[in-house]
């Protein structure tokens, strides 16, 4: 095994595909410290600037004093505290669903849903660009998984014609590496026509999209109940950590009884749940953060077009700059780091071959000066990389 692993690692390295971690020294934010230097950060999912907000920090500290650091056990043993319970109720109230259930991570929420709900003669039908946790859950499910071409309704309808007892359609609300929003009105109406169930992973829509921040369904003016299963992560716009699945009583009770990634894992600490509650409150009270983010997105796109920077058709905080080749993408990312900007290169297998990109993520906390500096440097470095090879 070890020899084979060594060969695999070497192959990755030769293809410029080796992943590397950067060790952050201090809190998240638009300005972030690493390796003894301050950087301008365009790589985080902290879309509303809440990850280091005093209200979340205070809630977490206060709860840690009362509840301690660890949760001690899984939810079904003795790990489920009144902080978790209140958070679930508050999320269900916010979204207008019967119930909501906390998971320790979004990965586990998606995996848990897909491995425990559909059965042997059922079909799971997924967008090809869905998050890895949905694809992994679909592969591990006893149901058969089919995938359709990204956001392509013709391809989708072809897959829906395959025979099955029941169908579960699964889509990201906002696609994490492209930034585009799923064609939810079309998917909802087709699911209704075929009596199929719909699951939305709104990791990048929850808190950000829609006037009240309820996510991608609200963005389209669709009722929350249009999705049978709604998953949101709490570690992105909300500024905390963990995930939630929202829906009706039958869904939530089934997950509690059958969801192995729910049952067999330690509950998130109560202090984290308390921070999440503070984040949820700010999402509701401070809509100016969504408006500020929207202004930053519009400003970024307008200016990037003036610089002729190759953008993708995204109207969300995720604004990938498509470069193509791995080596070029890495070269630009490294040069930007030298210029004090953190903009991480996203390469295969996370994205398809020859579509390596720099995934710019904007937050409500970026200033127009920050965006000006990014685009000035980005344009210069892309030009340099294009001239070299
Ligand atoms: N779904 C999507 C679309 C995501 O982008 C992510 C996080 N990268 C997840 C699920 C997983 O969430 P978590 O980080 O909480 O495991």
Catalytic residue of the set 80, 236, 328, 366: 236
Dist. CA 206–CA 214, nearest whole Å: 6
Do both 349 and 257 map to the same domain? no
233 close to ligand 1 (CB < 6 Angstrom): yes
Do both 271 and 297 map to the same domain? no
Do both 110 and 30 map to the same domain? no
Q: What is the CATH number of the domain that holds 319?
A: 3.90.1150.10
Say what the pLDDT of residue 316 is.
98
Residue 130 in domain? yes
Residue 338 in domain? yes
Measuring from atom 14 of ligand 1, which residue has the nearest CA?
106
Residue 251 in domain? yes
Measuring from atom 12 of ligand 1, which residue has the nearest CA?
106
| Domain limit, last residue, from 257, 285, 313 | 285
Do both 373 and 270 map to the same domain? no
Do both 117 and 188 map to the same domain? yes
Closest residue by Cα to residue 343 from 296, 294, 379, 301: 379
| Domain limit, last residue, from 258, 285, 312 | 285
Q: Which two tokens stand for residue 95?
A: 């979204």
Q: What is the CATH number of the domain that holds 272?
A: 3.40.640.10
Do both 302 and 242 map to the same domain? no
106 close to ligand 1 (CB < 6 Angstrom): yes
Q: How far is the CA of 299 from the centre of ligand 1 (A)?
A: 27
Residue 2 in domain? no
Do both 177 and 298 map to the same domain? no
pLDDT tens-place values along the chain, 389 residues long: 999 999 999 999 888 778 889 999 999 999 999 999 999 999 999 999 999 999 999 999 999 999 999 999 999 999 999 999 999 999 999 999 999 999 999 999 999 999 999 999 999 999 999 999 999 999 999 999 999 999 999 999 999 999 999 999 999 999 999 999 999 999 999 999 999 999 999 999 999 999 999 999 999 999 999 999 999 999 999 999 999 999 999 999 999 999 999 999 999 999 999 999 999 999 999 999 999 999 999 999 999 999 999 999 999 999 999 999 988 999 999 999 999 999 999 988 888 889 999 999 999 999 999 999 999 999 999 999 888 76
What is the domain extent for residue 374?
21-48+287-388
Catalytic residue of the set 133, 176, 197, 314: 176
Tell me the best of 51, 232, 233, 237 to mutate to test the pocket of ligand 1, counting ligand atoms within 8 Å of each CB and taking the most. Answer: 233
Strand blocks (E) in the chain: 31-34, 37-41, 99-103, 123-127, 144-148, 167-172, 197-201, 229-233, 243-247, 318-324, 341-342, 345-346, 356-361
Q: Compute how many other C-beta atoms are within 10 angstroms of the C-beta atom of residue 159.
A: 16
Contact assessment for residue 379 and residue 309, using Cβ atoms and an 8 Å cutoff: yes
Do both 279 and 291 map to the same domain? no
Based on the residue annotation, tell me whether 176 is a catalytic residue of this protein. Answer: yes
Check whether 131 is labelled as a binding-site residue. yes
201 close to ligand 1 (CB < 6 Angstrom): yes
Do both 225 and 157 map to the same domain? yes
Based on the residue annotation, tell me whether 120 is a catalytic residue of this protein. Answer: no
Total structural domains in the chain? 2
Q: How far is the CA of 132 from the centre of ligand 1 (A)?
A: 8
Residue 39 in domain? yes
Based on the residue annotation, tell me whether 337 is a catalytic residue of this protein. Answer: no
Say what the pLDDT of residue 389 is.
63
107 close to ligand 1 (CB < 6 Angstrom): yes
Residue 365 in domain? yes
Say what the pLDDT of residue 18 is.
82
Measuring from atom 4 of ligand 1, which residue has the nearest CA?
203
Atom index in ligand 1 nearest the CA of residue 175 equals: 3
Check: pTM over 0.90? Answer yes or no: yes
Taking the CA atoms of 350, 209, 343 and 39 in sequence, report the sign of the dihedral they define.
negative
133 close to ligand 1 (CB < 6 Angstrom): yes
Do both 222 and 292 map to the same domain? no
| Domain limit, last residue, from 239, 268, 285 | 285
Do both 273 and 262 map to the same domain? yes
179 close to ligand 1 (CB < 6 Angstrom): no
Catalytic residue of the set 53, 80, 204, 219: 204
Check whether 106 is labelled as a binding-site residue. yes
Contact assessment for residue 113 and residue 124, using Cβ atoms and an 8 Å cutoff: no
């Amino acid at each position: 095994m070890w020899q084979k692993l060594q060969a695999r690692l070497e192959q990755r390295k030769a293809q410029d595909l080796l992943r590397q971690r950067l060790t952050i020294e201090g809190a998240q934010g638009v300005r972030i410290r690493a390796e003894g230097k301050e950087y301008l950060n365009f790589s985080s999912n902290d879309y509303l600037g809440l990850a280091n907000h005093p209200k979340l920090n205070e809630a977490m500290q206060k709860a840690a004093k009362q509840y301690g650091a660890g949760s001690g056990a899984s939810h079904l043993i003795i790990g489920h505290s009144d902080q978790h319970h209140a958070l679930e109720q508050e999320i269900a109230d916010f979204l207008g669903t019967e119930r909501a259930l906390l998971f320790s991570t979004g990965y586990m929420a998606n995996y848990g849903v897909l491995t425990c709900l559909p059965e042997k003669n059922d079909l799971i039908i997924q967008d090809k660009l869905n998050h890895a946790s949905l694809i992994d859950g679909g592969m591990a499910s006893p149901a058969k998984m089919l995938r359709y071409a990204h956001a392509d309704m013709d391809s989708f309808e072809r897959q829906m014609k395959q025979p099955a007892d029941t169908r579960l359609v699964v889509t990201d609300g906002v696609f994490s590496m492209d930034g585009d929003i799923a064609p939810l009105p079309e998917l909802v109406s087709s699911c209704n026509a075929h009596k199929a169930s719909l699951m939305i992973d709104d990791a990048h829509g929850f808190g950000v999209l829609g006037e009240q921040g309820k996510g991608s369904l609200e963005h389209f003016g669709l009722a929350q109940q249009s999705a049978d299963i709604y998953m949101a992560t709490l570690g992105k716009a909300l500024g905390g950590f963990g995930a939630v699945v929202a829906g009706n009583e039958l869904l939530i009770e089934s997950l509690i009884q059958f969801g192995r990634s729910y049952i067999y894992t330690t509950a998130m600490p109560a202090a984290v749940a308390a921070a999440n509650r503070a984040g949820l409150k700010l999402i509701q009270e401070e809509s100016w953060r969504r408006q500020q983010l929207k202004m930053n997105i519009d400003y970024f796109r307008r200016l990037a077009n003036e610089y002729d920077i190759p953008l993708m058709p995204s109207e969300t905080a995720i604004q990938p700059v498509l470069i193509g080749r791995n080596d070029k993408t890495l070269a630009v990312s490294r040069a930007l780091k030298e210029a004090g900007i953190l903009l991480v290169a996203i390469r295969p297998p996370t994205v398809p071959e020859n579509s390596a990109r720099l995934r710019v993520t904007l937050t409500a906390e970026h200033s127009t000066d920050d965006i000006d500096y990014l685009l000035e440097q980005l344009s210069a470095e892309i030009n340099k990389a294009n001239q070299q090879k």
